[in-house]
Every structure is written in C-alpha cells, then in structure tokens.
Structure 1
Amino acid sequence: MTEQQNIDKVHIFHEQLKEQLHKFIVGYDNLLDLLSITLLTDGALLMEGIPGTAKTTICKIFAQNIGGKFGRLQGAVDVLPMDVIGVQKYLQSQGDFSFEKGPIFSNVFLVDEINRMTPKAQGALLEALAERQVTVDNLTFPLPYPFVVIATQNPYEMEGTFNLIESQKDRFTLSYQIQYLNVGDEVSILRKGIDRGLYMDTLEQSCEAITTLTDILTMQETVKNVYASDDILAYIGDLIMATRLHNDVKLGISTRGSLSLLRSAMAYAAIHGRDYVIPDDVKFLAIYCFNHRLILKREAVLGGITIQRVISDILESVPVR
C-alpha cells in the first residue's frame, strides 16, 4: 500500500473505534481521541476523575474492541510490587522456580485508582512504562506488543490517596481530567440504563474486535512516518523552553515530555487522515501532554494560579513558526 493508503487505514480504524465506543459511552470525544493516540504511540494514558464517571468501563470496552488481552489491577494500600509484575514460585514437584506473570503482561493494562497504591507499589510500573519490560530476581521479562497502560486516579484531595512521584507521572504520555457530563449527556446515560445498555454482560456481548494486534503494530509504524517539518519541531522546542522559563513554574517539561508531544501530534495527524503535522495538532495536545508534568511554584499556587492557566498563557505567547 502507498503511504496515503496506510494513513487512510489509521483514519478509518479511529473512526470505527469511536463509533464502537460511542455505542456505550456518552460524550468524552477528546478522551476517545487520546485513547487512539496512546495506542498508536505505544504510550500510556493517565485519567483523573471522581469515582463513577465511566473510567473503568471505557478502558474495558477499548481493550475488547482492539482484540487485545486485557489486564487489570485494582489500586489499594496493600498492593505489593509482585501483585503488579508477578512472582517467582518454587515448584516442589519440579525442584525449580517458575515465574507466574502478573496482570501487567497484557496488551491493555488498566491500573484502577493508581494513587491508592503506595509509592513502593507505584514504582513497580517505572521500568514497564519506560522500557517495556520487567525485572524479577535479576531476570528480565519482555512485555507483549502492543503494550498500553491506562491508569485512573481519584483527585488528590480525596481520602486514602498518595501523590504520584514526578518520575512516574513523566512516563505517562498524556493525561486527561474527566469532568461531569452536561445535562443532555446525563439524560442519554439514564436512557441507556433503562434499556439495559449499561450492564457489563450486555457490553461484553456486544463488543467485537475491529482490528488485530498485527494491524495495530503496522499502524504504529505508519504513525512513525508522519512528516513533522523543521518549523513544527522548532515550535515544540519553543513551547518546551517556555515552560522551563515561566515565572510561575518550578519544574518545566522534560525532554521525554517534548518527545511525547511530537509523537502524539504525529498520531493525531494520522487519525485525522493527514501524513503531516500542523501547528493546531501541537496546540490541541499541549494541555494533555503538559498538565501532569508541570509543577508550579508554591507562591503561584497560593496566588490561585492554575496549571491550565499557565499552559494557556504559553500557547498564547509563543508564536507559531
């Protein structure tokens, strides 16, 4: 196939995926875009929202539609690293150890309420997010491809939560803050509830894979060939530097963050049928790429300045190349 045909395949896949997800999910259009981007960049997505806003349901339906193995871990204070990655068990009958894989050995790995886990348990994800492998007793085990991590978290002000460490948050490609639905969407959810369209057994029976893992790997390669001009690269560089020099910012965007923004913009272009990145792609994704990475100075927080406001100021002040 030609390069444009490959791009068209990515675009069609994304539209089919959104159509399937919208059969069960009301609203959240931008989130569905981010799910596709996360999958196509082999990345990780962090979702924050209060309980009961369909975070887990979205992830499960997403995994079923891409035909991958789904793994899930429920965050709690007593979760141990071995509950995430697995454990070596001694088999007396064989006189040897055998590695029993944890839920992380899946194509779509959902960590539900990640910030209810202690920092020690959260740290078990660091190697997996960065290197797509885990190490147990000095033995390294590769994770399957494709491998996507989707983590949900409750707002930090809720009881029983532990802040994610900075190095952990930086390894998430994108983040999304789930808000309450508007009245119209809320009524649509109620109608689906009356029609039994929200029961998990109904959802699972209605979901069919719209692609294969092999096709996903091919589409990931297609995204890597999307063209980003020197002006786009320079624009991203200017945005990154602006975060590091901003008067209200204590910790700006890392190099990993700039690469995440570039790769996400390439995937965003592909799902919209383009083989090249435009500045609007970068602008749209900046908030989702920067929001969980920026750390404001204490005096800025006390002064009522928000991360969203800082990002908006940067986007308005940095000119497009």
Structure 2
Amino acid sequence: MTDADAVPDTEPREEEPTPLDLDEAAELTSRIIDNVERVIVGQPDAIEHILVTLFARGNLLLEDVPGVGKTMLARAVATSLDCSFNRVQFTPDLLPSDVTGVSVFNEKTREFEFQPGPVFGNVVLGDEINRAPPKTQAALLEVMSEQQVTVDGETYPVPDPFIVIATQNDVEPGRTYELPVAEVDRFTKKIRLGYPDEAEETELLGRLTGKHPIESLDPVASVEDVRRARETVAGVTVREPVRSYITRLAGYTRDHARLGVSPRGAIALVRTSQVRAVFEGRDYVIPDDVQTEAPTVWGHRVRTDTDVDGTAIVERALEEVAVE
C-alpha cells in the first residue's frame, strides 16, 4: 500500500454498485478460478470456497499442516482480484495494536493521529493465527463482524470489499493457543487443503523449477467486480421453506451437541447458499445449495463433549432433518 492508501477512509461509502447478471457472475468466478490455478495445483474446490466466502461477505479459516500452500492460495486470490493484500504473521509477542493500528502523537500538529495497522486491506491474511494469545486474536473480533476498527473511541471503516483469511497450524498443539469460540463463530467457513495426489505434486514440482508462477500472475478482476457480484448474491431469493429448513437444521445441532449453531451461523449458511445458487446460474436458493454449503459453514461451530467432530453432527442433521 502507498502512504495515501494507508490512511483509513472515513468518508461515507459510495452508492451500491450495479449487480452483475447471473451469466456475468458465473464467468467472473470461472475467470478467477482459472487464474489462481496457474499458481495453485489441484485445489479448485478450495479456491471456490474462498470465492463463496468473499461474495458472502465473510471470513475464511484454513487449517492444515505446514507447507501445503495456504499462504500462497490467499496471495494468488488477492492478486487475481487486483486488490490490496496485507499479511499479519501471528506470534506469541504480537500486540493487538500491531494488528489494528495505534494513535501516535504528532509533535508538529500537537494532536494524535491514527496509524492504521495491516488489517486495513481488502484481503488480510492472518498467518498461523493460533500462535498469538487470545488477547491479540480478539483484535480481529470487531473488524471480522462489522468491517470497522475502533481505537481510542474513534471508528475507522476498513476497505470494501474485506475478508480475513486466517491459517492455523494443527500439528503443534503445545505451542499454539486455541481460538476463542467467539472468534471461530466469525469465520464463515473452515476448510482444509490436504496433500496433493501424485500427479498434482509432480505438476507442482515442474512449475517451480524456475521462477514462482505468483511472480507473473496478473489480475483478472477488479474490486468493483467483487462489489457487483456481492450485489448479485444479495438479490438471490431465499423462500420461507428454505429458511425454515435451515432453522430446523440449526435446531438439530443445538439438540445434539454441547454447542450448536448460532444465529450468526444460520445467517452465514443463508448467504453462502445464495452464492452457491449464483454459481449454479439461479436467482433463488434450493435445499441442494444448503446441503452443499452446510458442512464447511457449520462444522467448526459445533462443539461436543466427546471426540465427535462437529462436521459429523452437521452431516447427521442433513441426513435426518427432512426437506419440507
């Protein structure tokens, strides 16, 4: 970012953009996925999950072992969208102000001036977020849900569109901190990348014998394209039977787990189902959209008293709750 870009925009947001047509939205999605796949091999579903989250105005949690491409995936998506990308390396000594920014006294003006932190970007990568203590992780709570930061009583909006893509390492539990439930609930989706298969890894090694492909990656979409796609999603119809179906699914998780899906989680499923409908070329949501999105949207929100994974509860709900 330039110095000018670093100053938070406190002016009123511009008027809502014109929605894309369904065909335009589908073409935009395909264009971005194809471009990211120039860098990321064998992960079309993961790329799609990020776009679903972005168009649903949410945040994404990537959990996996080191070295499978989590950070590079986030960078490739940001580059493809021609938007600002900031990275925060979470460490045990990281302070909340290192994330959000801090007010600094200006000797010339004799006034405090806000110096924005790295959270002021379109795509913000929180790398290895669980290496920082809960106090620092909590610095993201407001911005993840309200797209704004409050420092010393002053509120500053972050750029629009905005998404936090956080990664966490799941192989060193003794050296990391568990994410607070309130923070986990603010992640629209949680996904894993997994290892590539033999053919994919062979292709990956061939691509990286010279310069890294991220160095030659060009944008294929603009920030305005994302805003227009979001307006398309917002116009997708979610009829009462579908809303009732989501409510019954949420109720099932609350009845069969220590901590079920929150109303925020239900809203997230509605929004991601709207995106899924757009990807399928429809301006209305059907139960199939809900069933496709539910595992990655709800699995991390459900907690049990046993070792049963939350995703298993969600899948059981999908099997046992009837579509009416």
Q: Answer yes or no: same fold by TM over 0.5.
A: yes
Determine the structure 1 residue equivalent to 2:137: 122
State the AA in 1 paired with 2:173.
M
* SS of aligned partner of 1:226: coil
Question: For 1:133, which of 140, 148, 152 is the aligned residue?
Answer: 148
- Using the aligned pairs only, state the percent identity: 36
**Conserved? CA contact 2:55–2:230, under 8 Å:** yes
Inter-partner Cα distance in structure 2 for 1:189 and 1:68: 26
Determine the structure 1 residue equivalent to 2:260: 252
Question: For 2:240, which of 230, 234, 238 is the aligned residue?
Answer: 230
State the AA in 2 paired with 1:219.
A
Inter-partner Cα distance in structure 1 for 2:20 and 2:89: 40
Determine the structure 2 residue equivalent to 1:15: 30
Determine the structure 2 residue equivalent to 1:162: 177
Q: How does 1:142-221 map to 2 (within 5 A)?
A: 142-155=157-170, 157-194=172-209, 196=210, 199=212, 202-204=213-215, 206-221=216-231
Q: Deviations over 1:234-285 (max 9, x none)?
A: 1111110110111xx1000000000000000101111232212121211111
CA RMSD in angstroms, aligned pairs only: 1.6
Determine the structure 1 residue equivalent to 2:250: 240
Determine the structure 2 residue equivalent to 1:90: 105
Inter-partner Cα distance in structure 2 for 1:293 and 1:276: 26
Q: How does 1:256-267 map to 2 (within 5 A)?
A: 256-267=264-275
Inter-partner Cα distance in structure 2 for 1:28 and 1:290: 21
The count of aligned residue pairs is 307
Inter-partner Cα distance in structure 1 for 2:173 and 2:260: 26
Inter-partner Cα distance in structure 2 for 1:258 and 1:219: 21
What stretches of structure 1 of length at least 5 have no aligned partner? none
**1:311 Cα offset (Å):** 2.1
User: Which stretch of the first structure deviates more once superposed, 184-193 or 139-148?
Assistant: 184-193
Determine the structure 1 residue equivalent to 2:86: 71
State the AA in 1 paired with 2:318.
L
Asked if 1:295 corresponds to 2:284, the answer is: no
Question: For 1:311, which of 314, 319, 322 is the aligned residue?
Answer: 314
* SS of aligned partner of 1:152: strand
Q: Deviations over 1:258-315 (max 9, x none)?
A: 0000000101111232212121211111110111101111xx22xxx33232222111
Q: Deviations over 1:47-74 (max 9, x none)?
A: 1011101000010111011111111100
Inter-partner Cα distance in structure 1 for 2:236 and 2:312: 31
| CA spacing shift, 1:236–1:106, aligned 2, 3 Å | same
State the AA in 1 paired with 2:153.
N
Inter-partner Cα distance in structure 1 for 2:282 and 2:162: 25
Q: Deviations over 1:166-205 (max 9, x none)?
A: 00000111110221222221222122122x25x2xx413x
Inter-partner Cα distance in structure 1 for 2:53 and 2:218: 20
State the AA in 2 paired with 1:203.
I
Inter-partner Cα distance in structure 2 for 1:269 and 1:254: 23
Inter-partner Cα distance in structure 1 for 2:33 and 2:139: 32
State the AA in 2 paired with 1:169.
V
* SS of aligned partner of 2:88: strand
Inter-partner Cα distance in structure 1 for 2:312 and 2:283: 31
**Conserved? CA contact 2:62–2:167, under 8 Å:** yes
* SS of aligned partner of 1:51: coil
Question: For 1:36, which of 32, 51, 68 is the aligned residue?
Answer: 51
Inter-partner Cα distance in structure 1 for 2:239 and 2:171: 39
| CA spacing shift, 1:157–1:316, aligned 2, 3 Å | farther
Inter-partner Cα distance in structure 2 for 1:232 and 1:99: 45
* SS of aligned partner of 1:250: coil
**Conserved? CA contact 1:156–1:163, under 8 Å:** no
**1:13 Cα offset (Å):** 0.6
Question: For 1:268, which of 272, 276, 281 is the aligned residue?
Answer: 276
**1:18 Cα offset (Å):** 0.6
Q: Deviations over 1:191-234 (max 9, x none)?
A: 2122x25x2xx413x22222221222121111001122222111
**Conserved? CA contact 2:102–2:151, under 8 Å:** yes
**Conserved? CA contact 1:156–1:162, under 8 Å:** no
Determine the structure 1 residue equivalent to 2:6: none
Inter-partner Cα distance in structure 2 for 1:63 and 1:184: 26
Inter-partner Cα distance in structure 2 for 1:8 and 1:183: 35
**Runs of 4+ more than 4 Å apart:** none
**Conserved? CA contact 2:19–2:229, under 8 Å:** no
